[in-house]
Chains A and B, each alone.
Chain A
Amino acid sequence: MRPIIQVRGLSKRYRIGKTLVAIPTLREALANALKKPLERLRGIEPEPDEMIWALRDVSFEVQPGEVIGVIGRNGAGKSTLLKILSRVIRPTVGEVDIYGRIGSLLEIGTGFHPDLSGRENIYLNGAIIGMRRVEIKKKFDEIVAFAEVERFLETPIKYYSSGMYLRLAFAVAAHLESEIIFLDEVLAVGDEAFRQKCLWKMKEVSRAGRTVFFVSHDLLTVQKLCGRVFLIESGQLLKDGPAEAVVTNYLKSFSHP
């Protein structure tokens, strides 16, 4: 069977040297441009910028319809991987081929504008996450019903309660139709009832045969939803296997420090 995603030798390097600790001002850039050649003339070695590899030589293939959980500690590189796959940032090394439309939800409600009404924000957010106008129009009633905000459609969302806001944001996201979907912790918000609803929607999405990437710290949910799990540690793909095994392995690594 042909994979829907092929990742080959993916790496991402960030510069954390002193020049980029803060955003460089023009003055610093100019000063540096003058200083560097002068220092070299005087025989002073330029200080190398400190680099960190947020992702190191990650390769894998994903079959259509797989639901993959990505776990690992904070700062392990999970989000970096997802950001590269969803094309927000570019890799330093490596290539990815994707044989399908991607919908990426690194957060929900991206681009919501507080001064615009619920109706306007559904269109704006829908377009930003990659839906076409006709598509949004067709699903509009469904989205509104799912979010349960019928009465507040014409109200600017700055007056929404945080619950309403989240429901609306998730509702738009849940109606995005693409073969591949990337999710980053979007379930980690809202009350229990809302989480259940989201979980149910997620299951429905994965049953429909779509390929899902799901980054989360919620191991229980990962086990419930995903067939295959990636464990990422310091930028490397440490384990790739069935959910149960990888999660157990990951938990064991904490038991005896």
Chain B
Amino acid sequence: MIKEQANMVSSSGLTGTALERAALSTALPEEPLIKIRTGRDDGCRPNFKDLWAHRELLYFFIWRDLKVRYKQTVLGAAWVILQPLLTTIVFTVFMSRLARVPSDGVPYPLFSYSGLLPWLLFSNAVQSSSQSLIANSYIITKVYFPRLIIPLAVVGVRLVDFFVSALMLFMMMLYYGVHPGRHLLLFPLLVVQAMLLTLGVGIWSSVMTARYRDIGSLLTVLLQLWMFASPVIYPSRLVPERWRLLYWCNPLAGLVEGIRSSLFGLEFNWTGIAISAVITLALLAYSVRAFCRMEEKVIDIL
């Protein structure tokens, strides 16, 4: 009796008629749209096709963060300019006026602001991406999307900041009467390199901090040291000649100076830029793989 009733329920209206079902099944694709495999089975390779299919979500995450920041702070977008500007003023007073640090013939405020641009892109993005998986765990544990989108969105947000604060730099250059030359043609390329380097470290730090929370605190200290190991507020020629090669092994060193040279028409240091480019690509490849390898474990403990 019970069985009969149950059969009636399953064949009645709610599940759709047999005809409807037959029509649906003929429309099924030959190959599965989604294959779920264990991490071992698919070799933990990043799925770039999937990433591309979710590009709209990347846009929405960037849009969300910009919008929320704009609504939560009184000065909103102005902070993007104020942060490098105020820092520049502090360094101008202490480094240029008091410590008489040279600046390769460029007015010191311009010199340090142009160094702070890529530096702040890098350090802000690395710091926020290290917290990004944890901060978005309430979404990650409920819905599927390529997790790589989370650190990508963080870098996207900081890149928008970068362009806004770059506008301020061009206004400062007008004020100081410094004109960029044909060297400026390399500027977009170097910005791409800065973005890739930031991604390389950001992606790695996002997954590592989710696994070991103290990486976040460690990074804060490390980033402070890193700034002084890069020619952000002083020129690289202050570094003794015999240490120079080691100095260029810091991928930010060649990059920061390269960006400065492209802006002010200074001579390019190709060694530094080339070493930085190679390290950047290696770092990015490594951290994308590390992310995919650790992703599964990290989501289980989020």
Task: Give chain B residues whose Cβ lies under 8 Å from the Cβ of A161.
Answer: none
Across the interface, do A65 and B6 meet the contact criterion of CB distance under 8 Å?
A: no
Among the listed B7, B34, B138, which residue makes an inter-chain contact with A87, where contact means beta carbons less than 8 Å apart?
B34
Is A162 an interface position by the 8 A CB rule? no
Across the interface, do A128 and B28 meet the contact criterion of CB distance under 8 Å?
A: no
CA distance A124 to B300 in the complex (A): 25
CA distance A69 to B279 in the complex (A): 53
Across the interface, do B15 and A67 meet the contact criterion of CB distance under 8 Å?
A: yes
Task: Give chain A residues whose Cβ lies under 8 Å from the Cβ of B32.
Answer: 6, 97-99
Across the interface, do B300 and A207 meet the contact criterion of CB distance under 8 Å?
A: no
Task: Give chain B residues whose Cβ lies under 8 Å from the Cβ of A177.
Answer: none
Is B14 an interface position by the 8 A CB rule? yes
Across the interface, do A65 and B28 meet the contact criterion of CB distance under 8 Å?
A: no
Is A18 an interface position by the 8 A CB rule? no
CA distance A207 to B16 in the complex (A): 5
CA distance A243 to B9 in the complex (A): 8
Contact A25 B213, CB 8 Å, known A87-B34, A88-B144, A206-B14: yes
Task: Give chain B residues whose Cβ lies under 8 Å from the Cβ of A1.
Answer: 21-22, 25
Across the interface, do B71 and A88 meet the contact criterion of CB distance under 8 Å?
A: no
Interface residues of A in 215-257 (CB under 8 A from B): 223, 225-228, 241-245, 248
Q: Total interface residues on A, using CB and 8 Å?
A: 71
Interface size class of B (residues with CB under 8 A): 35 or more
Task: Give chain A residues whose Cβ lies under 8 Å from the Cβ of B300.
Answer: 14, 89
Across the interface, do A99 and B299 meet the contact criterion of CB distance under 8 Å?
A: no
Of the candidate stretches A45-53, A107-115, A140-148, the one touching chain B is A107-115
Closest to A114 in B: B68
Closest to A100 in B: B33
Across the interface, do A27 and B214 meet the contact criterion of CB distance under 8 Å?
A: yes
Of the candidate stretches B35-43, B177-185, B243-251, the one touching chain A is B35-43
Least Cβ–Cβ distance between A71 and chain B, in angstroms: 14
Among the listed B29, B215, B299, which residue makes an inter-chain contact with A89, where contact means beta carbons less than 8 Å apart?
B299
Interface residues of B in 20-71 (CB under 8 A from A): 20-25, 28-29, 32-39, 41, 56-57, 60, 64, 67-68, 71
Is A127 an interface position by the 8 A CB rule? yes
Is A152 an interface position by the 8 A CB rule? no
Is B143 an interface position by the 8 A CB rule? yes
Across the interface, do B25 and A90 meet the contact criterion of CB distance under 8 Å?
A: no
Across the interface, do A227 and B143 meet the contact criterion of CB distance under 8 Å?
A: no
A/B interface sample: 29 pairs, CB < 8 A = A23-B213, A25-B213, A26-B218, A64-B24, A65-B15, A85-B36, A87-B144, A89-B299, A91-B36, A92-B38, A94-B38, A98-B34, A99-B32, A110-B138, A110-B139, A111-B143, A115-B68, A116-B67, A116-B71, A127-B56, A128-B139, A156-B71, A206-B16, A208-B16, A227-B10, A242-B7, A243-B9, A244-B6, A244-B9
Is B105 an interface position by the 8 A CB rule? no
CA distance A137 to B122 in the complex (A): 35
Among the listed B15, B57, B301, which residue makes an inter-chain contact with A227, where contact means beta carbons less than 8 Å apart?
B15
Task: Give chain B residues whose Cβ lies under 8 Å from the Cβ of A115.
Answer: 68, 71-72
Closest to B38 in A: A91
Closest to A131 in B: B56
Across the interface, do A26 and B21 meet the contact criterion of CB distance under 8 Å?
A: no
Is B240 an interface position by the 8 A CB rule? no
Task: Give chain A residues whose Cβ lies under 8 Å from the Cβ of B36.
Answer: 84-85, 87, 90-91, 95-98
CA distance A95 to B37 in the complex (A): 5
Across the interface, do A244 and B145 meet the contact criterion of CB distance under 8 Å?
A: no
CA distance A67 to B11 in the complex (A): 11
CA distance A23 to B25 in the complex (A): 45
Closest to A66 in B: B15
Across the interface, do A90 and B39 meet the contact criterion of CB distance under 8 Å?
A: yes
Contact A29 B33, CB 8 Å, known A100-B28, A128-B60: no
Across the interface, do B25 and A4 meet the contact criterion of CB distance under 8 Å?
A: yes
Is A36 an interface position by the 8 A CB rule? no
Least Cβ–Cβ distance between A204 and chain B, in angstroms: 11
Task: Give chain B residues whose Cβ lies under 8 Å from the Cβ of A225.
Answer: 14
Is A132 an interface position by the 8 A CB rule? yes
Least Cβ–Cβ distance between B261 and chain A, in angstroms: 38
Contact A227 B9, CB 8 Å, known A67-B15, A100-B33, A244-B2: yes
Among the listed A63, A90, A93, A241, which residue makes an inter-chain contact with B296, where contact means beta carbons less than 8 Å apart?
A90
Across the interface, do B71 and A244 meet the contact criterion of CB distance under 8 Å?
A: no
Contact A124 B214, CB 8 Å, known A65-B15, A96-B36, A106-B142: no
Task: Give chain A residues whose Cβ lies under 8 Å from the Cβ of B139.
Answer: 110-111, 128
Task: Give chain A residues whose Cβ lies under 8 Å from the Cβ of B24.
Answer: 4, 64-65, 179, 209
